Amino acid sequence: MKLQAVLFDLDGVITDTAEYHYLAWKQMAENIGIGIDREFNEALKGISRMESLERILIHGNRAQDFTPNQRTVLAQEKNEHYISLLTQLLPEHTYPGIGELLEQLKQEKVPAVLASASKNAPRILTSLGLEEMFQYMVSPDGIPGKPAPDIFLNGAEAVGADPRYCIGIEDAQAGIEAIKAAGMYAVGIGEERVLRIAGANIVYESTAELNLSSLLKAASME
């Protein structure tokens, strides 16, 4: 087997926290008179907290109205709301097929790496009871965010994997672009049309369709 590591996005790949991010941003935006919908939210997926806030302010034509300190407060408010939603998270909220894929990787001694832009990633993995399944969790602090390749490259390097023999799994356009920029095989979860345009090599509608042998075949890494 040529495969050296599988790098997982978190929000929207391992569990449904992409929805919680959306709900918390929507509330924060409404509080300052900006409306956002699900279509606009696609452009926030995979993007860091402060960059997401910036995009919302620009979308509402309000970027000039908030100082850096006020932005920090808005981002904190959103994060507190988001963390309150996370208290609902339980192991059974792990998306279908993810636990099985992690088990298969463990059996084959292929490192699983968490490549998320979220500073809340450790607490989410703990709530899902999955922290033992990952060899390495990228810390996004101080690393250029997606669509830059750095989060994925950092994860591969940490486990000694050659990016050409890595598979990245993502639900966001920015995330797929980051995987491709890192020179890895990109698996998209979600809408085929959108993720193919971003560069996905293969797209599954649901994580339930993921399994190691079909991934290896698709990526020619058997």
Residues in contact with ligand BG6 by CB under 6 A are 10-11, 18, 21, 44-49, 52, 79, 116-120, 172
Check residue 9 for interaction with Mg ion (CB under 5 A): yes
User: Is 11 a catalytic site residue?
Assistant: yes
Query: DSSP secondary-structure letter at 67?
Result: -
CA–CA dist 122, 103 (Å, integer): 19
Please, which residue, 32 or 86, has the CB nearer to Mg ion?
86
What is the DSSP secondary-structure string of 30-85?
HHTT----HHHHTTTTT--HHHHHHHHHHHTT-GGG--HHHHHHHHHHHHHHHHHH
Residue with Cβ nearer ligand BG6 (25 or 204): 25
Report, in Å, the least distance between residue 2 CB and ligand BG6. Answer: 28
The residue within the footprint of Mg ion, chosen from 140, 171, 174, 189 (CB under 5 A), is: 171
- What end-to-end distance do the CA atoms of the chain give, in Å? 5
Annotation marks residue 150 as catalytic: no
CB of 91 to ligand BG6, least distance (A): 20
Of 44 and 101, nearer to ligand BG6 (C-beta) is: 44
Q: Is the peptide bond before 147 cis (omega within 30 degrees of 0)?
A: yes
Q: Which residue has the tokens 């279509």?
A: 39
The residues annotated as belonging to the active site are 9, 11
Contact residues toward Mg ion (CB under 5 A) are 9, 11-12, 171-172
